[in-house]
Chains A and B, each alone.
Chain A
Amino acid sequence: MFFDLISEARTGLLTRPGRTALTVLGTVLGVAALVATLGIAKSAGNQIVGRFDELAATSVVVTSTLGNDQVLTLLPWDSEQRITRLNGVAAAGTITPVATGGALTAAVPIHDPRGQAEFQLPVFAVSPGLFAAARTQLLTGRTFDAGHSQRQDNVAVLGPGAARRLNVTYIDRLPVIFVGDQAFVVIGILEQVGRTPDLADAVVIPEGTAQHIYQLEAPTTVQIDVEIGAATLIAEQAPIALAPNTPQDLRVLKPAEPTQLRADVADDVNVLFLILGGVALLVGAIGIANVTLVSVLERTGEIGLRRALGATKYAITAQFLLESATMGFMGGIIGTSIGIAVVAVVATTRTWTPVIDPWIPLAAPIVGTLTGLVAGAYPAIRAAGLEPVAALHNA
């Protein structure tokens, strides 16, 4: 019985392929519009979020300094190497404030009697990878490398604020600054301090040098630049890599979970587009209902005949419902494909990452089918309600 229904519905649809195609077109457009708007909204939302938090989303900071300046676990000197080995880390480096005992910093060449020549500037010891991990930018010169640290060279990189105050503007002549009585050759000046605003007014020296001169005990903070999407994972792994025995004693600062934020933005965009897609689908449904209704009127004779051949009202209803549901389903499938293609094209032309929720391609054909069912319900009931006698005579 069921197979008969299917084959009858199939015949009903295939014998008028042109009309079936046109009917399906309504649902195709509706579902395509729905899928495309959802996809574009999602992609756009993703893009917006991706733009404004890219810097934060890829930064993880691990520090041994707890809230009240307590230190329970010392970070190892090879923190940079340990973290860089993790998959998903783009760059890592340590940064540690150096206690200089209140030493003042001065630049030698110019003695300006009217201006202040000595300043209390913070001194930071960093590992070579920090500059990349913090995404700093150099104004001039270079940053130091592992060699400087190993040789405990007295070299320094100045933050932009520190350079301005010390009046060090170019480094061609290897200017020297004094921190207390220690002389440092300035090899580079930063323009941007990226994620480490502390460095803006600071004198930055290699870790090895800080160990040698100021008896630095251990690094206190590791700045990690992670690849997009790896923040949560690295935030979990980094403390274990740094202090395998007591990872819980380290404090990890990771970006806020981006998922929620993204969802909020996407929701705002979605509502508008969903309404548009819904309207499009409604138009598609009215199209199906209309054509099915016309088809019922046109096939009055056929319905009468089928009743005369012994079809029950149920069989007539089921056949018309199946036909309209099939049209809705086909429209849903085709519409989904077109919608996805539209999202891909739009995303490509805007150089976005196309994003589509995985449930959309699954749900859209179901939406199409339901549209067909709902749209076909009234015509199908009307068809079944036709008096067989009248139906035969009118045709």
Chain B
Amino acid sequence: MAREPIALLTDLERHFAAGDVIVRALQSVCLTVEHGDYVTVMGPSGSGKSTLLNILGLLDRPTAGTFHLDGIDVGTLTDRDRCHLRARRIGFVFQSFHLLAHISAFQNVKLGTIYTTTPRAKRRTLAYEALERVGLAHRADFLPPTMSGGERQRVAVARAIVANPSLLLCDEPTGNLDTETGSTVLDVFAELRQSSDLTLIVVTHDPDVGDRADRTVHIRDGFMVTT
């Protein structure tokens, strides 16, 4: 039996009310992402990329249309269930890393497990394994401000994958990095795909990222333009 697609968007609309004007950030978006896909979403600023990512990450709800995550219609779920689903199934990587500055890299990674049902005893092991996968086990006890940008983003990736999600959502993961360090992060993405059937959806401006992906979808003025 064929698996359900990890993400299935049907006629998705997202409108924002800005005063009297209604901004249509997403219009009639249809998108299917299979397990193990590596998709980049490209488009100019304000085209609706981030809005799409927030809906995919269950941080926002669509105005109309449906979103099935791994076969589950998430529009019908309560906020609480969406939080639990987010904790287990989805990992986030942000442009500005969002690491907590006062705790070590290891603790930052471990933070990715605390809202899951993972037993406490197992979390340390998971956090170390995640750091190893991004090649930063030797930096476990460093505080984020003492690390380079590339290292910080890899710690953030480790945090995103520590709970073993099926979907990794990345918002401009290389946007704050130079080309060289950016490519070390992309290398990590490539390795992750080889060692698991992690699905990657990456929003980016960076053509290098697009080149590494299986396919790229373009968004312009809220409409999806498939190439």
Choose among A7, A309, A315 the residue that contacts B112 (Cβ–Cβ < 8 A): A309
A-B contact count (CB 8 A): 64
Closest Cβ–Cβ distance, residue B80 to chain A (whole Å): 6
Stretch among B113-121, B131-139, B219-227 lining the A interface: B113-121
Contact B87 A310 (CB under 8 A): yes
Contact A310 B116 (CB under 8 A): yes
Candidate in B88, B102, B116 with the most chain A CB atoms within 10 angstroms: B102
Q: Please give, as numbers and ranges, the residues of chain A lying within 8 Å of B111 by CB-CB distance.
A: 306, 309
Contact A306 B103 (CB under 8 A): no
Count residues of B near A (Cβ-Cβ below 8 Å): 29
What's the Cα separation between A302 and B87 when bound, in Å?
A: 15
Choose among A301, A306, A313 the residue that contacts B79 (Cβ–Cβ < 8 A): A313
What's the Cα separation between A308 and B89 when bound, in Å?
A: 11
A305 at the interface (CB under 8 A from B): yes
Choose among A4, A15, A392 the residue that contacts B94 (Cβ–Cβ < 8 A): A392
Count residues of A near B (Cβ-Cβ below 8 Å): 25
Closest Cβ–Cβ distance, residue A102 to chain B (whole Å): 99
Contact A310 B115 (CB under 8 A): yes
Choose among B80, B94, B96 the residue that contacts A312 (Cβ–Cβ < 8 A): B80
Closest Cβ–Cβ distance, residue A8 to chain B (whole Å): 7
What's the Cα separation between A302 and B114 when bound, in Å?
A: 14
Query: Which residues of chain A from 258 to 310 have a CB within 8 Å of any chain B CB?
Result: 301-302, 304-310
Stretch among B54-62, B145-153, B180-188, B195-203 lining the A interface: B54-62
Choose among A15, A301, A305, A307 the residue that contacts B102 (Cβ–Cβ < 8 A): A15
Choose among A11, A313, A315, A389 the residue that contacts B60 (Cβ–Cβ < 8 A): A389
Contact B60 A312 (CB under 8 A): no
A52 at the interface (CB under 8 A from B): no
Closest Cβ–Cβ distance, residue B67 to chain A (whole Å): 16
Contact A11 B107 (CB under 8 A): yes
Q: Please give, as numbers and ranges, the residues of chain B lying within 8 Å of A4 by CB-CB distance.
A: 114-115, 120
Choose among B50, B87, B96 the residue that contacts A309 (Cβ–Cβ < 8 A): B87
A228 at the interface (CB under 8 A from B): no
Q: Please give, as numbers and ranges, the residues of chain A lying within 8 Å of B120 by CB-CB distance.
A: 3-4
B83 at the interface (CB under 8 A from A): yes
Q: Please give, as numbers and ranges, the residues of chain B lying within 8 Å of A302 by CB-CB distance.
A: 98, 100
Query: Which residues of chain A from 20 to 49 have a CB within 8 Å of any chain B CB?
Result: none
A108 at the interface (CB under 8 A from B): no
A395 at the interface (CB under 8 A from B): yes
Choose among A11, A16, A311, A395 the residue that contacts B115 (Cβ–Cβ < 8 A): A311
Closest Cβ–Cβ distance, residue B16 to chain A (whole Å): 11
B215 at the interface (CB under 8 A from A): no
Query: Which residues of chain B from 31 to 59 have a CB within 8 Å of any chain A CB?
Result: 50, 54, 57, 59
Contact A311 B60 (CB under 8 A): no
A372-395, CB under 8 A of B: which get 1 and which 0? 000000000000000011001001
In the complex formed, the residue of B with least CB distance to A310 is B87
Query: Contacts A15-B103, A308-B59 given: A392-B84 contact, CB under 8 Å?
Result: no
Contact A312 B107 (CB under 8 A): no
B92 at the interface (CB under 8 A from A): yes
B154 at the interface (CB under 8 A from A): no
What's the Cα separation between A311 and B114 when bound, in Å?
A: 9
What's the Cα separation between A388 and B60 when bound, in Å?
A: 8
Query: Contacts A11-B107, A15-B102, A395-B96 given: A309-B54 contact, CB under 8 Å?
Result: no
Other CB < 8 Å A-B pairs besides A15-B103, A310-B85, A312-B83, 9 of them? A3-B120, A7-B114, A306-B115, A309-B87, A309-B111, A309-B115, A310-B87, A389-B54, A389-B59
A–B pairs, 29, beta carbons within 8 Å:
A3-B120, A4-B114, A4-B120, A7-B114, A15-B100, A15-B102, A301-B98, A302-B98, A302-B100, A304-B98, A305-B94, A305-B98, A309-B87, A309-B92, A309-B112, A309-B159, A310-B83, A310-B85, A310-B86, A310-B87, A310-B88, A311-B87, A312-B79, A312-B80, A312-B84, A312-B115, A313-B79, A314-B80, A389-B54
What is the interface of chain A, defined by CB distance below 8 A to chain B? 3-4, 7-8, 11, 15-16, 301-302, 304-315, 388-389, 392, 395
In order of increasing CB-CB distance, the 10 nearest A-B pairs are A310-B87, A15-B102, A310-B115, A312-B83, A310-B86, A305-B98, A308-B92, A4-B114, A388-B59, A389-B54
